[in-house]
A and B are shown apart, each in its own frame.
Chain A
Amino acid sequence: MSRIRSRAKAFAAVALAAALAAGCSSGSSSGPAAATGTQDSVDAALKAGGEITYWSWTPSAKDQVAAFEKEYPNVKVNYVNAGTNKDEYTKLQNAIKAGSGAPDVAQIEYYALPQFALTDSLADLNQFGFGSFEKDYSASTWAQVKNGNGIYGLPQDSGPMALFYNKEVFDKNAIAVPKTWDEYIAAAKKLHAADPTKYITSDTGDPGFVLSMIWQAGGRPFAVDGRNVKVNLADAGTKKWTAMWDQLIQGKQLAPVKEWSDDWFRALGDGTISSLVTGAWMPGNFISSVPGGAGKWAVAPMPTYDGKPVTSENGGSTQSVLKQSKNPALAAAFVRWLNHGGGVQPFIKSGGFPSTTADLGAPAFVDQAVPYFGGQKVNEVLTQASKDVAPGWTYLPYQTYANSVFSDTAGKAYLNGTGLDAGLAAWQQAIVDYGNQQGFTVSAG
């Protein structure tokens, strides 16, 4: 019995592979691209109504679901906060493996999306004609939800990197806002020498931050082609970043404070950490969680290597439709509403940074003077950053695992001062070994 079933499975896999190959070849040769459908079935499902389950930890999720149900009273959305990032992915992965128990719609961060897309766990939204939304999103976020020819979600937020700095501390120590990384390192040294209790920033080894920095420096350490993965954490761009950041680590210029801890919020408030290179979603967190910094902080473009503006993305999520969904059309309708309809405004209101070009360009958004930042029009800086994101970035198809072993490998460079290159080489080894065990063909270099 089980043998028959596994044989049927194998047959299905072969058929699927053949279909994929056919699709790819027709796509590459000027024929019609991936199979696209229309939004008719989505509209019909919305009219018919029904019930779906939604997993998310976005603070605005509750309000969004309430607003959606008000607009479509015949649809019931069971909102479940199934855990934040990794916790949710663990549960999703288990439910997928078990074949039941997954929600219809789930929030998935961009870095984790390839892992679910590649294991064929998500519905390709091309079948509902969502491919036509491309022009409505910033190029960098659209690239994140695309995998091959498939579209596996609609972008929710975006995190173009920028420099947040404590103007009060900078002014007091006569430090100009650094435009290049050389100036940034000089500022770090000057500040710490003048006041040993103050640091330019903190970093205890956060893989998401590291990848964003490599991305900005021009490094493209991961290349993915189906099940073939190439890893090179020693390419020119990566080395450019390690050479720069090593100066801060080995010069002990980084505050030893863990991100998102109570200490970290405290250090941001009292000036111990005087700048932060992070995603454009940060202002909301400043306002809600760092009351002590009000009126002191300001935003500037991310420093670069040659002074020309270029930045990268940090963080950001999408909402995807799971293959397990019994009503994928209705689930897709909800996703469309969330990130391409009525759900966008409540999200921006809760402090999220949108990925829709219309909202990024809206005067009400761009010209808003934010009192916390001393009346600065912070969105002006941040929307510009969203246009300066360097293209061509790819995450690993098993990035959540890779991130989970970061501190055991590359993290050592932060503790022992052994140098980031050696640390990244150890990380690369772990990534290659794991990938090959999981059935990928991973090569280094």
Chain B
Amino acid sequence: MATLSVTRPKKSRTLTAVMALYLLYTLVPLMWLVINATKTQASLFSTSGLSFGGPFALFDNIAQTFTYNNGIFFRWLGNTLLYVVVGAGGATILATAAGYGLAKYRFPGRRAVFAVVLGAVAVPATALAVPTFLMFSKLGLTNTPLAIIIPSLISPFGLYLIWVYAADAIPDELLEAARIDGAGEFRIFLTVTLRQLVPGIVTVALFTVVQTWNNYFLPLIMLSEPKWYPLTVGLNQWSAQANGAGAQPIFNLVLTGSLLTIIPLVLAFLLMQRFWQSGLSAGSVKQ
């Protein structure tokens, strides 16, 4: 260990250039979105994409986005929030409980569960959408919010993350100590484990929130009534209005709506990232 000296790593010009390019690649679409959300439909068609032009119409656009088509955007926002809070929230709770259980308890069939969960991680959700639709149709649940919420509750990847995290982060000794002190298993979970798991839980919550927020294909297939659409499907419907005979393009509203749609996600990241960082560094040092 002594041979390792603590010097500052050398700066690499190539790496800096690559990073700068990557930053540009990430930021340009966002810039484009912000710039174009300030334009009216007419100036969107008459000015260049990467420069401001025409009247500054951002607030107008926001007002229009919320009022267009009897304020359906507001309803879509509410739907998305409902799916995220109940779906992603539920997924996080289930993944936490199940992941912890699998990591810390020995019971028959544990390996089988492990294999199933790993297998489930590998299956893309898109591939399951149509079979899920047929199943839900038999149950009479299509075209209801439950058709989005129930599939969102399952997050094999989240479960796997918590499992791996719990195996490392919670010493068995701690649980044994709690048991000797007379705590029941449920109380141990609530008072001892949960606190230890916070970084892991936040990570899973972020993943499931982003996944549910951006979920497109499942609601597209499940829902046929616009009043249950989440933002993703609704905005796409607005965008599709520009297509073909009788086209009514409202690109300005699509752009403004997209901008409004990503703001809550950005906020969620800003608020939760410190937990996330502490989570990612867990296990990197020896206690």
Residues of A with Cβ closer than 8 Å to B? Answer: 55, 57-60, 80-85, 87, 90-91, 94-95, 97-101, 103, 157, 159, 260-263, 265-266, 269-270, 279, 281-282, 284-285, 288-292, 315-317, 350-353
Contact = CB atoms under 8 A, between A and B. Distances in A.
A249 to B, nearest CB: 23
B133 interface: yes
Nearest to B129: A94
B46 A266 contact: yes
B226 A80 contact: yes
Given A81-B226, A81-B237, A94-B130, A99 B137 contact: yes
B261 interface: no
A352 B251 CA distance: 22
Contacts of A60: 246
B93 interface: no
Interface in B136-165: 137-138, 140, 142-143
Interface of B: 42, 44-46, 49, 130, 133-134, 137-138, 140, 142-143, 220-221, 224-226, 236-237, 240-249, 251
A351 B249 CA distance: 14
B138 A98 contact: yes
B133 A260 contact: no
B33 to A, nearest CB: 13
B237 to A, nearest CB: 6
Contacts of B225: 80, 82
B248 A59 contact: yes
B46 A84 contact: no
Contact of A94 (B140, B221, B241, B245): B221
Given A98-B133, A101-B137, A262-B251, A58 B242 contact: no
A155 to B, nearest CB: 13
B45 A269 contact: yes
B253 to A, nearest CB: 12
Contacts of A316: 245
A97 B134 contact: yes
A40 to B, nearest CB: 32
A53 to B, nearest CB: 9
Nearest to A62: B69
B80 to A, nearest CB: 18
B246 A84 contact: no
Contacts of B49: 263
B143 A270 contact: no
A87 B244 CA distance: 14
A90 B236 CA distance: 15
Nearest to B245: A281
A292 B245 contact: no
Contact of A265 (B221, B237, B245, B249): B249
B243 A83 contact: no
B50 to A, nearest CB: 13
A315 B247 contact: no
A101 B224 contact: yes
B224 A55 contact: yes
A288 B46 contact: no
A97 B224 CA distance: 15
Contacts of B244: 84-85, 260, 315
Please list the 10 inter-chain residue pairs (A to B) with the smallest Cβ-Cβ separation, ordered nearest first. Answer: A98-B137, A281-B245, A84-B240, A266-B45, A82-B224, A59-B246, A285-B247, A262-B251, A265-B45, A260-B243
Most buried by B among A94, A279, A282: A94
Given A80-B224, A85-B244, 12 more contacts: A80-B226, A87-B240, A90-B220, A94-B137, A101-B224, A260-B247, A263-B49, A279-B245, A290-B45, A292-B45, A316-B245, A353-B245
